[in-house]
Amino acid sequence: MSQQVVPDIALGSALSAVAPVSLGMAVIGADLALRSANQAFLDLSEHKGDGSGQPIIAFLHESADSACARSVVEALAAHREFTGSVRWRGPDGAFPAELAVVPVSEHGVLQHFLAVLRPRAPGDEVEALLDATTQRLQRLLDHLPAGVIVHGRDSRIIAVNARAAELLGSSPEALLGKGAHGGWRFLNDDGSPMDSSGYPVCRTLSERRNLSNLVVGVVGSQRGEAAWVLCNTYLVCDDGGEISEAVVCFTDFSELKRAQQSLQKSEERLRLVLQGSTDAPWDWNLRTGELYYSPRWWEMVGLEPGELPTNAELWLRLAHPDDAARAREVFEQALSGDAHSYEVEFQLRHKEGHWVPVLARGLILRDEQGRPVRICGTNTDLTERKRAEQNIHQLAYFDYLTELPNRRMLMDQLHRQISRASRSGQWGALLFIDLDNFKLLNDTLGHDIGDMLLRQVAWRLRHAVRDTDVVARLGGDEFVILLDSLGKDRNAAGAEAGQVASKILAVCDEPYVLPARMYRSTPSIGVVMFDGAHPADVVMRRADLAMYQAKAAGRNTLRFFDPAMQAAIDRRYALEHDLREGLLRDEFLLYCQPQFDADGALAGGEVLLRWRRPDGELVSPNEFIELAEGTGLVLPLGRWVLRETCKRLAGWRHNPRLAQVPLSVNVSAQQLRCTDFPEQVLGAVRDTGADAHLLALELTESVMAENLEEVIAKMERLRRGGVTFSIDDFGTGYSSLSYLKRFPLETLKIDRSFVHDIHIDPDAAAIVEVIITLARKLGLKVVAEGVEEEAQRRFLSDEGCDRFQGYLFGRPLAIDEFERQFGHA
């Protein structure tokens, strides 16, 4: 909008030029003080000088006509026009005069008043001068930046300035005499056509009041596009108080209107965009600390706007503990650097307790020094996107039927495990599992039933292995299990893989529940070991080959790709099979090695196990105990040994030579782990009628590494039942002296390795001395095993060892033989 305020000086000189000597003219400021005046105005006034700065009221004769002076001031204070008679303070005293004061506004803002003063002394000369003045005033009005139209009381135009005519698309001459609706149209502020009764002049006349600051669109007769004006009206009344004229003043408002319209449009657009988007805007003024979270922001976390204190800490308070520190760091780094934007993903806690993943994007506004002054941005709810990503991931990497990882995921994992194996030197194994005759099930009972079986197989496989092992479905009836980190020993790793494969064969062999029937299905399994030497596809091909060998071998079996490993596994299986059979067929025998005291009297015996195979070969436990432990066969074997020993003790009760000879039995950590172990032992004692005090259980130091409280509780229970304990192979394993004190022990057995060198190695001798001293201090007896030479016996005897066991005194004997040898006179 053009800024065309007429400067005071210009006005002053204009007034001097246009006014006759006898017609006073002046510009009155918005503060109602005189700003400039012509000579006539000054001459007519009692004030000397230029009178500038004097309030208008100072020129009026108040005492004589105070009401008149008040109404002038009131009208002007209300920015209204005043015309009427006043008493004027002249140099020679008060005189009657006509005063017209017209407000001049710009964009609705009062700039100043124009005042015309005429002494009431009618005469031709004055009238002529007045006409001239009127013309000059008209010219002045024409140059005003505002449009002015004076309507008669019938709304016809009686005066119009050039600017008004221009806005109405006509000429002043053409407009004179026209009515209020002279060929133009007006629009309301909102752009809708204005009803003629709403035209400013019509309204001011009908409502009989002045109107201020109406925004009106003018569509003139010659122009199509509306010009926008800010319109003020005022009414002029005659002496009788009747409306004589209505003056409409207007200034151009088009540019402001255009700016207003475009602002409205962009606000509307922004509002629609935000309404349509799922983003939640926020705005933070860093200078004032004012923070705005949009309603959508609150909605995203399930809260009502303002339900929690609206401060900068709020989002951090709601952020997931795993994300808060990182999100804050991103935010603070962006602020402290010179970034103009940032984005960070984190989760916000919803009122209902779940987490909402959001992407926060912020725009940083900075001042000239680069300091951040404001940040505004949006939070985008990523829930749907994350769900979609999850779905895509699920579809891409998991089997839809069993929800197991699919071939792609398996290959990823296999690549990873192979490279891990090559770094760590640990073996891994891949088990390739294919169901036997699955096609038959599909063909006879249909695909849906086939799917059911596949799901059940998947469940069994998943639960048969550790959580860290990978179980995948390749497709059809093919599954793969990946076993990781099986150790650096190839044979041990192979044995473990073979055990897992055997377990898979066993769990798959259980009947399946299918609609209206039980169903049996078996798999064939190919096993290949990997150590990083071969790529994934080679490993897969080899496992597949091995699986076909398992099929060829009659199905429901496993085959290793590596023939040597297969042979080892076969041997192992054969031994396991024989062991089981051996137990059933009573192929195990008790042997017993005697122990003597320092005087050479029989003091006890250690029960040992032997296995006489069907071919007559006598096998020592060294060859089968590890397998027995690995397969759990150690438990039935251990129970058998205990029971047989107790039987023997009971049988010796009436033999005067053997009745007080205690027997010690080796017990494995696995046996001790059984919750009912004390009951097993005490049950065997009770059932056979043996004297529990003659039964000694030999534990190795490894039991100290077990759940100590539980072990001690079981030992105490047995101790109360009369059973005694000794620690076997003392000094070779995990010895904690403080633990030793807590065990209810009777005897320490010095390991044969120390005894062996006792007479030649001072270190071994020192160890044995310490063990014996220790035992003494703890009130324990000491048994030395592996005593083979007299020098060893002497040393031990000198140190105070209680009992001796070894070839020097006697080899292990079949227990019947032992009985014969020591039970008879």
Ligand X SMILES: Nc1nc2c(ncn2[C@@H]2O[C@H](COP(=O)(O)OP(=O)(O)OP(=O)(O)O)[C@@H](O)[C@H]2O)c(=O)[nH]1
Per CB under 6 A, contacts with ligand X among 346-405 are 401
CA 797 – CA 598 distance, rounded (Å): 6
- In whole angstroms, the minimum distance from the beta carbon of 525 to ligand X comes to 12
**Would you count residue 297 as binding ligand X (CB under 6 A)?**
no
**Would you count residue 544 as binding ligand X (CB under 6 A)?**
no
| Between 270 and 440, CB nearer to ligand X | 440
Residues in the chain: 825
Per CB under 6 A, contacts with ligand X among 482-501 are none
Question: Is the torsion defined by CA of 216, 221, 222, 223 positive or negative?
Answer: positive
| Between 402 and 426, CB nearer to ligand X | 402
CA 609 – CA 642 distance, rounded (Å): 11
Reference 808, options 607, 593, 661; nearest CA is 593
Cα angle 633, 636, 640; round to 5: 135
Q: How far is CA 386 from CA 356, 390, 396, 653, in A?
A: 10, 6, 15, 78
**Would you count residue 477 as binding ligand X (CB under 6 A)?**
yes
| Between 375 and 527, CB nearer to ligand X | 527
- In whole angstroms, the minimum distance from the beta carbon of 472 to ligand X comes to 14
- In whole angstroms, the minimum distance from the beta carbon of 577 to ligand X comes to 25
Enumerate residues 6+ apart whose C-beta is below 8 A from 617: none
The correct pick among 551, 572, 714, 749 for binding ligand X (CB under 6 A) is 551
Q: Are 327 and 344 in contact (CB under 8 A)?
A: yes
Give the β-pairing of 663-666 and 618-619.
unpaired
Reference 751, options 771, 767, 730, 782; nearest CA is 730
| Between 163 and 551, CB nearer to ligand X | 551
CA 482 – CA 470 distance, rounded (Å): 5
| Between 346 and 438, CB nearer to ligand X | 438
Query: Which among 255-263, 266-274, 364-372, 432-440 is the span making contact with ligand X, rule CB under 6 A?
Result: 432-440
- In whole angstroms, the minimum distance from the beta carbon of 293 to ligand X comes to 50
Q: What is the DSSP string of 126-171?
A: HHHHHHHHHHHHHHHHHHSSSEEEEEETTS-EEEE-HHHHHHTTS-
- In whole angstroms, the minimum distance from the beta carbon of 393 to ligand X comes to 21
The correct pick among 191, 337, 425, 476 for binding ligand X (CB under 6 A) is 476
Bridge partners (DSSP) of residue 607 are: 592, 665
Cα angle 96, 30, 10; round to 5: 85
User: Among all residues, whose Cβ is closest to ligand X?
Assistant: 450
| Between 451 and 817, CB nearer to ligand X | 451
| Between 450 and 594, CB nearer to ligand X | 450
Sheet holding 82-90, edge to edge: 34-37, 24-29, 109-119, 93-106, 82-90
CA 29 – CA 35 distance, rounded (Å): 6
- In whole angstroms, the minimum distance from the beta carbon of 542 to ligand X comes to 18
Q: Are 300 and 348 in contact (CB under 8 A)?
A: yes
| Between 324 and 401, CB nearer to ligand X | 401
- In whole angstroms, the minimum distance from the beta carbon of 562 to ligand X comes to 22
CA 309 – CA 297 distance, rounded (Å): 14
CA 657 – CA 824 distance, rounded (Å): 7
| Between 437 and 773, CB nearer to ligand X | 437
Per CB under 6 A, contacts with ligand X among 399-428 are 401
- In whole angstroms, the minimum distance from the beta carbon of 446 to ligand X comes to 8
Q: How far is CA 399 from CA 50, 405, 650, in A?
A: 101, 6, 63
- In whole angstroms, the minimum distance from the beta carbon of 733 to ligand X comes to 49
Q: How far is CA 411 from CA 75, 426, 440, in A?
A: 94, 19, 29
- In whole angstroms, the minimum distance from the beta carbon of 465 to ligand X comes to 22
| Between 38 and 442, CB nearer to ligand X | 442
Q: Are 475 and 499 in contact (CB under 8 A)?
A: no
- In whole angstroms, the minimum distance from the beta carbon of 529 to ligand X comes to 23
- In whole angstroms, the minimum distance from the beta carbon of 402 to ligand X comes to 9
Which SS3 state, helix, strand or coil, does residue 664 take? Answer: strand
Which positions from 433 to 462 touch ligand X by CB under 6 A, shown as an x/- string? -xxxxxxx-x----x--xx--x--------
Which positions from 495 to 534 touch ligand X by CB under 6 A, shown as an x/- string? ----------------------------------------
Query: Which among 29-37, 431-439, 485-493, 641-649 is the span making contact with ligand X, rule CB under 6 A?
Result: 431-439
- In whole angstroms, the minimum distance from the beta carbon of 620 to ligand X comes to 43
- In whole angstroms, the minimum distance from the beta carbon of 505 to ligand X comes to 14
| Between 111 and 442, CB nearer to ligand X | 442
- Write out the H or E segment, with its range, that includes residue 206: helix 200-207
Question: Is the torsion defined by CA of 40, 41, 42, 45 positive or negative?
Answer: positive
| Between 369 and 444, CB nearer to ligand X | 444
| Between 81 and 477, CB nearer to ligand X | 477
Per CB under 6 A, contacts with ligand X among 643-702 are none
CA 769 – CA 767 distance, rounded (Å): 5
Q: What is the DSSP letter of 195?
A: P
Burial of 287 (0-12, 13-18, 19+ CB in 10 A): exposed
| Between 255 and 451, CB nearer to ligand X | 451
Which single residue is written with the structure tokens 């004027």?
88
Which SS3 state, helix, strand or coil, does residue 88 take? Answer: strand
- In whole angstroms, the minimum distance from the beta carbon of 399 to ligand X comes to 9
| Between 557 and 566, CB nearer to ligand X | 557
| Between 544 and 644, CB nearer to ligand X | 544
- In whole angstroms, the minimum distance from the beta carbon of 549 to ligand X comes to 12
How many CB atoms sit inside 10 A of residue 92's CB?
A: 7
How many residues touch ligand X under the rule CB under 6 A: the total is 16
The contact set with ligand X (CB under 6 A) reads 401, 434-440, 442, 447, 450-451, 454, 476-477, 551
